[in-house]
Amino acid sequence: MVSVLTPLAFIAQRWTPSPRTVRRAALSAVVMTVVIIVTGGAVRLTGSGLGCDTWPKCTDDSLFTTSEQGLHGAIEFGNRLLTYVVSAAVGWFIVAARCAEPRRRRLSRLGWLQFWIVALNAVIGGITVRLELNPWTVAVHFLAANALLTVTTVSWLRAGEGDGPARPRVPGPVRKLGWTLVVVAGLLVAAGTTVTGSGKHAGDSSDVPRMPFDYTSVAQVHALFAWAVCALALAVFFVLRVVDAPDDTRARARDLLLVLLAQGGIGYVQYFTGVPEVLVGLHMLGSSLMWIAVLRLALSLRERPAQAPATAIPAQAPDAALSPTA
């Protein structure tokens, strides 16, 4: 009976990527996820959210943008095309993870999880357009993009590790503090969607409904979460020095503080200057970089060494087994 190979198995028989190639493939998915988050913000900030007024086509009669839709249509359609670039990056990682030797099934699962999040978020984006930029679906669309950023970042970091059992690098209370930081940072990102959903950048020049919150109030709540993240990050930074944590872990805590300093400065400047589009775009980029830095710090609190290959028991010669000196 002749077995039929899947396309991935067929490629795996003919190509074995190096660990560096696998990690580069994972990093490409991270980079493209950040790019599409930022360009998605540019769609909103330029009022191009309904530049393509339907989905999956750009108009009822055309898959592509038309001259009548002008610059807004080009911006929105360009962002849609980036989904294919993200998909290509995710696909490269799936192939690289599958073809790696030894085979890394956990990385492959992370790659396929990325694929399904991309597909789901494309549908959410289509629903958002059909609901004419309902602020709640816009928020879900953004959070799904951050879910993709989470998985791509974890995939990138896991690609640089082994598949052995996780081993702590710092005491248990420090690890709990690190994961508390992750939770609060996630709440900060979620709170940011209410600020955007209540603010003036609706994503289209027409009268798009906003979330029923007072902008000043939700901005203050968002700021409280930001201060909580800063306090936790500062606590982790000093505690890691007290427990003499590895140098790379302490460096990641330092990097997070630098990102938070820049992100906080941009946030306050944009609030007191009337939320200009350029600063909002920079703030969205900072949000992605902050989330990556938080995850890098949390995952550096433990390590996964490569699994040791099983040790084969050498076979004994029959005569040796009977020898009195064996």
Let me know whether 254 and 277 are in one domain.
yes
> Is the same domain home to 182 and 286?
yes
Rounded to whole angstroms, how far apart are CA atoms 90 and 94?
6
Does 323 reside within a domain?
no
Q: Is residue 174 domain-shared with residue 186, that is, in the same domain?
A: yes
Q: Are 145 and 177 found together in one domain?
A: no
Based on the domain organization, do 26 and 59 belong to the same domain?
yes
Domain total for the chain? Answer: 2
Angle at 280 between CA 152 and CA 232, to 5 degrees: 60
Whether residue 313 is contained in a domain is answered as: no
Q: 233 and 139 in one domain?
A: no
Structural domain boundaries, residue 200: 165-304
Do residues 67 and 185 share a domain?
no
Q: What is the pLDDT of residue 5?
A: 81
Mean pLDDT in order along the chain per 10 residues (326 residues): 76 91 97 96 89 88 87 91 95 95 92 97 93 93 97 96 92 96 96 91 82 92 95 97 96 97 91 88 94 97 75 43 38
Q: Is residue 321 part of a domain?
A: no
In a domain, 317, yes or no: no
pLDDT value, residue 160: 93
In a domain, 140, yes or no: yes
| Statement to judge: residues 169 and 110 lie in one domain | no
- Residue 192 backbone dihedrals phi, psi, to 5 degrees: -60, -30
The DSSP code for 61 is S
Counting runs of H as helices and runs of E as strands, what totals does the chain give?
10, 2
- Domain boundary (163, 184, 210) is at 163
